[in-house]
């Protein structure tokens, strides 16, 4: 069966998009199929797959017209992707599936997200974070205390003196499975100043990625809590793939702002 695909990224966190508006092209995404598409040697290569489907066709509880049916690179289902939802919004705009010049509401398993275009940037209302307790994470023979922050996905945020302290992050860092029974994204964060941080992330189901939008949000929340400030932050977050900005203050929703690009498209027969 031939089907259309697109390739896009947000700060080099990259995705395969599968248009399937009425849900008849792919049905429920098979994890092995997703993993094959994401494989960088035997597939297109990506950190995840987003099926572009109408919410009514998927049957998810959402008031949005379009739903981001997102899977990690290993085929596991994820609640939300802050970089991916910007790419998803760009695709909807480029294909004329949503009106220009208006905020775009997109359904996700982490709740409906409103994306506002600003020329070549997109701002996402990420909602309120959920802050929990602390646990431990370990990598490269070292162990750190990590703040538990939920921003659509679960995150364990650890502060390091240098991003190199985490090592190569080829393997999943150790974490407390009793705190994160379904896995966790682990952020290693280096402070630059009050409104500037750097991070690396190991995403559950995908490995180390060049960027993580929900992780950037979680890192800024942990940064603010660690500084014990109640002042709203407009924080620059440098990731290996570029820069995003996060706005947040106590009792305020998180706003994630960053670029999005569609870089390739085509049609294919999946033969694997």
CB 79 within 8 A of CB 109: yes
Give me 205's structure tokens: 């189901």
82 known member of a binding site: yes
CA distance 99 to 267: 26
Q: Which of 38, 212, 217, 235 is the catalytic position?
A: 212
140 known member of a binding site: no
CA distance 249 to 232: 4
81 is catalytic: yes
212 is catalytic: yes
Q: Which of 38, 81, 217, 235 is the catalytic position?
A: 81
Catalytic residue positions, numbered: 81, 212
Q: Binding site: which residues? A: 13, 72, 82-83, 153, 185, 203-204, 213-214
Known binding-site residues for substrate equal: 13, 72, 82-83, 153, 185, 203-204, 213-214
């Amino acid at each position: 069966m031939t089907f259309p695909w697109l390739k896009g990224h947000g700060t080099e966190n990259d995705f395969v998009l599968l248009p399937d508006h009425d849900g008849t092209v792919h049905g429920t995404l098979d994890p092995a199929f997703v993993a094959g598409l994401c494989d960088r040697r035997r597939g297109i290569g990506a950190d995840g797959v987003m099926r572009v489907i109408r919410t009514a066709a998927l049957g998810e509880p959402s008031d949005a017209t379009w739903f981001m049916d997102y899977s990690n690179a290993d085929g596991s289902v994820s609640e939300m992707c802050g970089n991916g939802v910007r790419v998803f919004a760009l695709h909807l705009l480029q294909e004329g599936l949503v009106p220009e010049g208006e905020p775009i509401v997109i359904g996700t398993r982490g709740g409906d997200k409103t994306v506002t275009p600003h020329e070549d940037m997109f701002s996402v209302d990420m909602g309120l974070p959920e802050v929990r307790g602390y646990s431990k994470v370990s990598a490269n023979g070292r162990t750190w205390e990590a703040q538990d922050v939920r921003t659509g996905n679960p995150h364990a945020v650890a502060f390091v003196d240098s991003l190199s302290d985490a090592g190569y992050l080829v393997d999943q860092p150790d974490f407390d499975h009793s705190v994160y029974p379904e896995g966790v994204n682990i952020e290693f964060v280096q402070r630059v100043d009050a409104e500037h941080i750097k991070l690396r992330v190991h995403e559950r189901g995908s490995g180390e990625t060049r960027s993580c939008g929900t992780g950037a949000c979680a890192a800024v929340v942990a940064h603010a809590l660690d500084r014990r400030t109640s002042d709203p932050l407009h924080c620059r977050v440098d990731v290996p793939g570029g820069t995003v900005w996060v706005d947040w203050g106590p009792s305020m929703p998180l706003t994630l702002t960053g670029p999005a690009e569609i870089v390739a498209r085509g049609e294919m027969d999946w033969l694997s």
